[in-house]
Amino acid sequence: MSAKERFYVTTPIYYPSDNLHIGHAYTTTVADSLARWHRFAGREVYFVTGSDEHGQKIQRAAAAKGVTPKEYVDVIVASFKDLWEKLNITYDDFVRTTDDRHTKAVQAVFQKIYEKGDIYKSAYEGWYCTPCETFWLESRLEDGKCPDCHRPVEWVKEESYFFRLSKYADRLLKHIEEHPEFIQPETRRNEMVNFIKSGLEDLCISRTTFDWGIPVPSDERHVVYVWFDALTNYLTALGYPEQTELLDRFWPADLHLVGKEIMRFHTIVWPIMLMALDLPLPKTVFGHGWLLFDSDKMSKSKGNVVDPIALMAEFGVDPIRYFLLREISFGQDGNFSRRALIERTNADLANDLGNLLNRTLSMLNRYCAGVVPQPAGELKEIDQDLISYASGLAEKVDGLIKELKINEALASIWRLVGRANKYVDERAPWNLAKLEDKGELGTVMYNLVETLRVVALLVKSFIPETGAKIWAQLGLEGLESCTLADAAWGLLQPGTQTRKGDPIFPRIEVEKEAPEPVQEKQEKPEQPKIEKAAPAAPEGVLIGIEDFMKCELVVAEVLAAERIQGADKLLKLQVDVGSEKRQIVAGIALHYKPEELVGRRIIVVKNLKPAKLRGELSQGMLLAATAPDGHLEIVSVSAAIPAGSKVK
């Protein structure tokens, strides 16, 4: 039997100098989704994250609070773990650099490289950026400031140990050339190659002007430089310096996932440390882009960070996970905005996926008593089309995930969801249900439920709660033990009793453009103006006529209608409401072709606050009725009633 494939993935270990923000949640959500996917695909996975607790930055932050560094980090590290639990992160190990096992690993690494002759004692005199914990040559500064974070640097002069980076430059360049997958994406590889070619200086790897760090073996006046300390965590997690079974199984790492700003440490310093230790290099270091806020990098000092805990409390976990994974082209920078999050949730989760589940199970309840029927009869081309796309999808997603094309993997799953929604409209089960021979209805309903089963399996690594909810509504069990092979077409058992539940993603109504709410701002923002629409009045609650009269309903003639690019569900209508012309955006594109609407007299709520949908102004709302299976019809009157007529 061939050995199982393995996958060791890591995130950066974050600084507990402050609470984590959505940018940190991004890296960790990506790593978690990859780890979950590879486990699902039957691979042996090890997933490590942690906290980078030493260094001058933390020591100063603790002193400012009047507590010891350890007291300071203990509180913040607990909040990291709480965040990861809320975000459903399934790490196998969490390395704290204050763990004893880590001290042992760092001291062993230092000693081994020292004995090899690649560490020597000298004195450092030069610039240092404390927020980035980085030494800088004068020539690399920009306007005298740190070229990475643009904050002031400090002049440091102290006795230090140095690591002979320069000795390994050629070997590293050769490795990069021979292993194009080592540094990804390609733009980062080019940046790193240029950096190395511009000349590597030996690196200062100890400090003596403060003591919050791991002591250098046999010279305890020095503490190990925080990056030399932190990078070692990837070995600590496997039990280094012991020759453990974990180390044998999982080293070299398959993927170090990091933000692009710390690529130099991971693709130059870390590989050279490993070369000096005679250990193999990680297979891939991927430097992803930044999550920007108003096109600027989020950072505490700029006061523009978004708090993931507050977002999860408001929107739930899976909308946040989905947004991060789907919205941002992996490798590139992407913008975070509340508006984009709401639109993504509504379009992909509520409308596409949620609606497919809801309408399929409603129809199954109505036509088949909620029981999965036996497919019967010959397959039509439309059926074949759906089945063949769904059948090849698991393998396709696996390929995309292996290539780290995460947003494309999700897009390919959502193409199946889109196809299935279209399939409902094309195959119109409500018409098939009227036929005496129920064979074709059985085939169509089976195909829909089976599509949802496949979708639940394929999405569960990315949005785990959603996968589980769909699975439960389909009346299935044993999701945890399913593997990629279970996503093959046709494994759904006819006779399965489904259990329709509440909609899995209620739509979030957007009323107005609003400033983005942020975790912390120099000036407190006004109350966020994007509001969720008031929920529909519960059934049975009576309202007075004066409440109803507040609603100005009029007849409107549709003058023109068109699709909105990039929004499958929306149509943009130009209507005449008697007194004026208005634009209305309505989510009816799956039910009406634009040309079917022109000339119709529809009913609109004229005094609804204007809203923007996909950047298009909507000045009113049309009335429509939706059947439980999702079939939708617009309310309209004949041409005898002119535009502008009141409706009561």
The residues of the shown chain that bind ligand ME8, judged by CB under 6 A, are: 12-15, 23-24, 26-27, 52, 230-231, 233, 258-259, 261-262, 290-291, 297-298
Structure tokens that stand for 255 in this block? 């993927």
User: Whole-number minimum distance, CB 163 to ligand ME8, in Å?
Assistant: 16
Which residue, 47 or 367, is less far from ligand ME8 as judged by CB?
A: 47
Three-state SS annotation for 380-447: CHHHHHHHHHHHHHHHHHHHHHHCCCHHHHHHHHHHHHHHHHHHHHHHCHHHHCCCCCCHHHHHHHHH
Which residue, 259 or 517, is less far from ligand ME8 as judged by CB?
A: 259
Structure tokens that stand for 501 in this block? 């539940």
CA–centroid distance for 508 within its chain: 19
User: Whole-number minimum distance, CB 402 to ligand ME8, in Å?
Assistant: 21
Structure tokens that stand for 554 in this block? 């009029």
Which residue, 239 or 467, is less far from ligand ME8 as judged by CB?
A: 239
Instruction: Return the SS3 of 518.
Output: coil
User: Whole-number minimum distance, CB 94 to ligand ME8, in Å?
Assistant: 13
Residues 622 and 604 sit within 8 Å (Cβ to Cβ): yes
**Run of H or E including 622:** strand 621-622
Geometric angle at alpha carbon 377, from 375 and 379, rounded to 5°: 85
What size, in residues, is the chain?
648
Which residue, 290 or 462, is less far from ligand ME8 as judged by CB?
A: 290
Which residue, 76 or 603, is less far from ligand ME8 as judged by CB?
A: 76
Other CB atoms closer than 10 Å to residue 369's CB: what's the count? 10
Which residue, 12 or 316, is less far from ligand ME8 as judged by CB?
A: 12
> What is the per-residue DSSP string for 148-215?
TT-PBPEEEEEEEEEE--GGGHHHHHHHHHH-TTSEESHHHHHHHHHHHHT-PPPEE-EE-S---SPE
- Distance, in Å, from the CA atom of 647 to the CA atom of 2, rounded to the nearest integer, reads 73
- Distance, in Å, from the CA atom of 493 to the CA atom of 480, rounded to the nearest integer, reads 18
- Distance, in Å, from the CA atom of 172 to the CA atom of 646, rounded to the nearest integer, reads 77
Task: Kindly state the DSSP code that residue 224 receives in the 8-state scheme.
Answer: E
User: Whole-number minimum distance, CB 636 to ligand ME8, in Å?
Assistant: 49
Which residue, 26 or 489, is less far from ligand ME8 as judged by CB?
A: 26
User: Whole-number minimum distance, CB 648 to ligand ME8, in Å?
Assistant: 53
Residue 10: φ, ψ to 5°: -130, 155
Residues 118 and 167 sit within 8 Å (Cβ to Cβ): yes
User: Whole-number minimum distance, CB 371 to ligand ME8, in Å?
Assistant: 47
Strands 44-51 and 93-96 come out as parallel
User: Whole-number minimum distance, CB 219 to ligand ME8, in Å?
Assistant: 23
CA distances (Å), 448 to each of 70, 302, 455, 495, 537, in order? 55, 49, 11, 15, 32
User: Whole-number minimum distance, CB 95 to ligand ME8, in Å?
Assistant: 10
Which residue, 236 or 421, is less far from ligand ME8 as judged by CB?
A: 236
Tell the residue number behind the tokens 């709480």, with chain if given: 82
CA distances (Å), 523 to each of 304, 306, 518, 519, 530, in order? 11, 15, 11, 11, 19
User: Whole-number minimum distance, CB 251 to ligand ME8, in Å?
Assistant: 16
Which residue, 224 or 586, is less far from ligand ME8 as judged by CB?
A: 224
Structure tokens that stand for 569 in this block? 């569900």
For residue 241, is the peptide bond before it cis, meaning its omega torsion is within 30 degrees of 0?
yes
Which residue, 23 or 331, is less far from ligand ME8 as judged by CB?
A: 23
Torsion angle of the four alpha carbons 335, 340, 345, 346, in this order, in degrees rounded to the nearest 10: -160
Which residue, 131 or 630, is less far from ligand ME8 as judged by CB?
A: 131
- Distance, in Å, from the CA atom of 214 to the CA atom of 399, rounded to the nearest integer, reads 42
Which residue, 259 or 620, is less far from ligand ME8 as judged by CB?
A: 259
Which residue, 12 or 308, is less far from ligand ME8 as judged by CB?
A: 12
Which residue, 93 or 261, is less far from ligand ME8 as judged by CB?
A: 261
Residues 375 and 355 sit within 8 Å (Cβ to Cβ): no
User: Whole-number minimum distance, CB 442 to ligand ME8, in Å?
Assistant: 49
Tell the residue number behind the tokens 């909810």, with chain if given: 469
User: Whole-number minimum distance, CB 336 to ligand ME8, in Å?
Assistant: 8
User: Whole-number minimum distance, CB 277 to ligand ME8, in Å?
Assistant: 16
User: Whole-number minimum distance, CB 231 to ligand ME8, in Å?
Assistant: 5
Residues 6+ apart with CB under 8 A from 23: 259, 290, 291, 297, 298, 305
User: Whole-number minimum distance, CB 335 to ligand ME8, in Å?
Assistant: 11
Which residue, 235 or 258, is less far from ligand ME8 as judged by CB?
A: 258
Geometric angle at alpha carbon 537, from 532 and 540, rounded to 5°: 165
User: Whole-number minimum distance, CB 282 to ligand ME8, in Å?
Assistant: 12
For residue 252, is the peptide bond before it cis, meaning its omega torsion is within 30 degrees of 0?
yes
- Distance, in Å, from the CA atom of 322 to the CA atom of 73, rounded to the nearest integer, reads 30
